[in-house]
Amino acid sequence: MVKIDPWKNALKQLDDAAKILKIDPGVHDMLGTPKKILIVALPVKMDNGKIKVFTGYRSQHNDFRGPHKGGIRYHPDVTIEEVKALSMWMTWKCAIVDVPFGGGKGGIICDPKKLSAGEKERLTRRYAYAISEIIGPGKDIPAPDVYTTGTEMAQIMDVYSVMHGQGEPAVITGKPLSIGGSQARNVATGLGVAYCVREAARKIGMKHYENIVIQGFGNAGTFAAEYLEKMGGRIIAVSDSKGSIINPKGLDTKKVIEYKKKKGTVVGYPGSKKITTEQLLTTPCDVLIPAALENQITPEIAKKIKCKIIAEAANGPTTPEADDILFKRGIMVIPDILANSGGVCISYLEWVQNLQRYYWTFDEVAKKMEEHIVRGFNDTYNLAKKHKVDLRKGSMVLAVGRVLDSFNARGLWP
Residues near ligand NAD, by CB under 6 A: 189, 215-221, 239-241, 277, 291-293, 313-315, 340, 343
Give, in order, the Cα–Cα distances in Å from 141 to each of 2, 108, 124, 299: 33, 17, 15, 38
Q: Pick between residue 18 and residue 212 the one whose CB is nearest to ligand NAD.
A: 212
Of all helices (H) and strands (E), which one includes residue 263? Answer: helix 253-263
- Taking a C-beta distance cutoff of 8 angstroms, is the pair 94, 173 a contact? no
Q: Which of 69, 105, 175, 260 is catalytic?
A: 105
* Nearest distance from C-beta of residue 342 to ligand NAD, angstroms: 7
Q: Pick between residue 315 and residue 406 the one whose CB is nearest to ligand NAD.
A: 315
- Taking a C-beta distance cutoff of 8 angstroms, is the pair 73, 145 a contact? yes
Q: Pick between residue 256 and residue 383 the one whose CB is nearest to ligand NAD.
A: 256
- Taking a C-beta distance cutoff of 8 angstroms, is the pair 105, 71 a contact? yes
Q: Could you confirm whether 105 is annotated as catalytic? A: yes
- In this structure, the dihedral spanned by the alpha carbons of residues 185, 187, 192 and 193, taken in order and rounded to 10 degrees, is 150
- Taking a C-beta distance cutoff of 8 angstroms, is the pair 100, 402 a contact? no
User: Is residue 58 packed enough to be buried (19+ CB in 10 Å), middle (13-18) or exposed (0-12)?
Assistant: buried
Q: Pick between residue 218 and residue 299 the one whose CB is nearest to ligand NAD.
A: 218
Q: Pick between residue 311 and residue 403 the one whose CB is nearest to ligand NAD.
A: 311
User: Is residue 127 packed enough to be buried (19+ CB in 10 Å), middle (13-18) or exposed (0-12)?
Assistant: buried
* Nearest distance from C-beta of residue 217 to ligand NAD, angstroms: 4
Residue 130 CB neighbour total at 10 angstroms: 18
Degrees, nearest 5: CA angle 209-250-197:
25
The catalytic site residues sit at 105
